[in-house]
Amino acid sequence: MPNFARILYYLAKAMKRPYWDRDRLRTYQEKRLRSVVEYAYNFVPFYHEKFRKAGVIPSDIKTLEDLAKLPIVRKDEMRHENPRKLVSMEFDINKLKIERTSGSAGQPFVTYMCGVEDDWRKSIYMRANMSCGQKLRDRWVVITSPHHFKDTTSIQRRLGIYAQTCVSIFSSVDEQIGLINEARPDVLDGYSGSLLLVAKEVDRRGLKTIRPRIIFGSADLMDVASRQFMEKVFEAPYYDQFGCAEVDRTAWQCPEKIGYHMDVDSVITQFVDDEGNEVSVGERGEIVYTSLFNYAMPFIRYAVGDVGVPSDEKCPCGRTFPLMKVVEGRKDSLLLLPDGRLLSPMVFRIAVSRFFEKIMQYRVVQKKCDLFEIYIKKKDDSVDEKVMETELVAYIKKMIDTDACEVKFEVKFVEDIPLSKTGKLMAVVSELE
């Protein structure tokens, strides 16, 4: 259960840091960096072994530049480890909150956090929204996964303070529009792909009753035309936000929209080339995160597979947090059902997440409007394929309501997940023209 008082305390502190001068901010970063590195070395077996193998001890890491001495860690490497080696020995893994990543490449991963860390995440999340104009008692509607429905505390709901009204991503667009229309949101938030589908239907109907003051989108990367379309339909500014489940919010657009302000007081973001060296300003690089707040399960030089471009521009908004100019690597295809419904790929990624404990990797390919192929690489031979196939197909059909149209799902258990026609490994992809 989130601690609302602690969230507000963290939030009050967090709102001031974007205006610190660069020297003060760097001192803050390096202090937290030294703390998390020393902690990981002493209490997390995975990192103790990694540092020893690299010939590094905590006292070697004093500055941001010293991060280059540490090896880059990839999700696939951590996924194959025993979770108890990834979690601090000071924590009981059974009492930690679990966060499942859906994985844009179809590689599921389970992360753990304590209550303090979860409250920190929520404060950083809210800082981005407030910086774009969200107010204390705004009516706030979010299209999200049902497992996030309990994120808002009972105190928040009673007081109406930053209280989310959640709409399931699995609901039909018609249902989503009905709930949104009823809530009359000041702030409309959620997965960008789902927001776009809602905007298309609102535009088709000519509805004028859904008029939020602000729109926030995340997860699916929207092109410029789609963002402009949503702004036109809802007559409100759209702000893109970026991050990953492992470390949550990492960058966001302010009203100036020059780039994405990076939350460098919470997560150090590096952009590296194929050799692991940091790229120059204006060059494309793979994004590597070092969380400054994760202790239960640290992430140090953690590569997420996304691509960004660092910028040295200064934002007119006055915030000193550095900018990343663009974000690449998360653009998925929309999926078309026989009855004309469009679905965001996030619907399938969240549905499959129910079975992550048994799946090493997966891929959903839409071959026809009424045919989906689901490729699964099991974690081990103990998984009963017939049982998983039956449960998975039944759950997906229930979530996307296939009673309205005939859709076939073919589940194939494989040793290696096939690549897409473009050679990329995307979790959910449509091959429709």
Taking only the tens place, the pLDDT of each residue in 121-154 is 999 999 999 999 999 999 999 998 887 787 777 7
Residue 328's pLDDT is 52
Long-range contacts made by residues 198-204, C-beta under 8 angstroms, separation at least 24? Answer: 198/143, 198/173, 199/229, 199/230, 199/233, 199/234, 200/229, 200/342, 201/173, 201/174, 201/177, 202/177, 202/233, 202/234, 203/229, 203/233
Confidence of residue 211 (pLDDT cuts 50, 70, 90): very high
Q: What is the DSSP letter of 424?
A: -
Residue 329's pLDDT is 46
- Rounded to 5 degrees, φ, ψ at 40 are -60, -40
pTM for this model (two decimals): 0.78
Residue 330 has pLDDT above 70, yes or no: no
> CA torsion angle for 12, 18, 23, 25 (degrees, to 10)?
50
Residue 213 has pLDDT above 60, yes or no: yes
Confidence of residue 263 (pLDDT cuts 50, 70, 90): very high
CA angle 234, 249, 242 (to 5 degrees): 55
Residue 295's pLDDT is 97
* Region 293-302 average pLDDT: 97
Confidence of residue 333 (pLDDT cuts 50, 70, 90): low
Distance CA 56, CA 425 (A): 34
Residue 422 has pLDDT above 50, yes or no: no
Count Cα neighbours of 127 within 13 Å in the Cβ-side half-sphere: 31
Domains of the chain (ranges, CATH numbers): 4-118+244-328 (3.40.50.12780), 133-236 (3.40.50), 335-430 (3.30.300.30)
Q: Select from 349, 331, 351 the least CA-distant residue to 102.
A: 349
CB 188 within 8 A of CB 217: no
Residue 205 has pLDDT above 70, yes or no: yes
CB 71 within 8 A of CB 65: no
- Do you know the residue count of the chain? 433
CB 390 within 8 A of CB 355: no
* Region 240-254 average pLDDT: 91
Residue 108's pLDDT is 67
Encoded tokens for 104: 């844009």
pLDDT, the chain, mean:
88
Residue 361 has pLDDT above 90, yes or no: no
- Rounded to 5 degrees, φ, ψ at 77 are -65, -45
pLDDT in tens, 84-128: 999 999 999 999 998 877 555 556 688 999 999 999 999 999 999
* CA quadruple 314, 319, 324, 329: dihedral sign: negative
Residue 371 has pLDDT above 60, yes or no: yes
Encoded tokens for 114: 């304590």
Residue 324 has pLDDT above 70, yes or no: yes
Residue 158's pLDDT is 83
Confidence of residue 401 (pLDDT cuts 50, 70, 90): confident
Q: SS3 for 362?
A: strand
Residue 59's pLDDT is 97
